[in-house]
Amino acid sequence: MNEISDRAVMTALGKQMTAAVSRQAAAATNLANLDTPGYRTKDVTFDTMLDARLSEASALTSTDPRHLTGTPVAAASTQREVDGLQMRRDGNNVQLDRELLNMQNAATDFGAAQAVLAAKFRLVRYAINDGK
């Protein structure tokens, strides 16, 4: 039977939080460069994070497959330029509304993972205290 362990759940939630932080950092960088001439919008997507993880794992050698788990991926290595956005006269394509929405979505994803982790820890605390 294929069971989901507590460790797998915690790892997945940690990765979701890391991805949300990376997306929020990319949006914050875009907002900081809103008035920078020639700046191109950068974004973090699942495929860029997966590519970064795979290239990182393939560059390392290991004697045990468990040695490569849990290594963080830097946010800068997972960012890519966004195509198809309208360019302004100064060559900048950052859109304020889009970036604010991306920041809100990332904060929502982070908050959801945080709420699940908090509930898990409450259950553990409840078990340790013998249901009191």
Q: What are 11-56's pLDDT values in tens digits?
A: 889 989 999 999 999 999 999 999 999 999 999 877 666 666 666 5
Q: What domain range includes position 99?
A: 6-128
CA–CA separation, 30 and 79 (whole Å): 11
Domain annotation covers residue 89: yes
**Number of folded domains that form the chain:** 1
Give which of 30, 21, 49 is closest to 100, Cα–Cα: 30
Give the tokens for residue 67.
């040695």
Residue 58 within a domain: yes
Does 75 map to a domain?
yes
pLDDT in the model for residue 90: 95
**Exposure pattern of 63-96 as b/e (b: 16+ CB <10 Å)?**
eeeeeeeeeebebeebbeebeeeeeeeeebbbbe
1 occurs within a structural domain: no
- Answer whether residue 120 is part of any domain: yes
| 69-76 long-range contacts, CB within 8 A, separation 24+ | 69/11, 70/11, 72/18, 73/18, 73/22, 73/49, 75/21, 75/22, 75/25, 75/26, 75/44
Residue 63 lies in a domain: yes
Whether 40 is covered by a domain: the verdict is yes
Q: What is the pTM of this model?
A: 0.71
In this prediction, residue 36 carries a pLDDT of 95
Tell me if 73 is assigned to some domain. Answer: yes
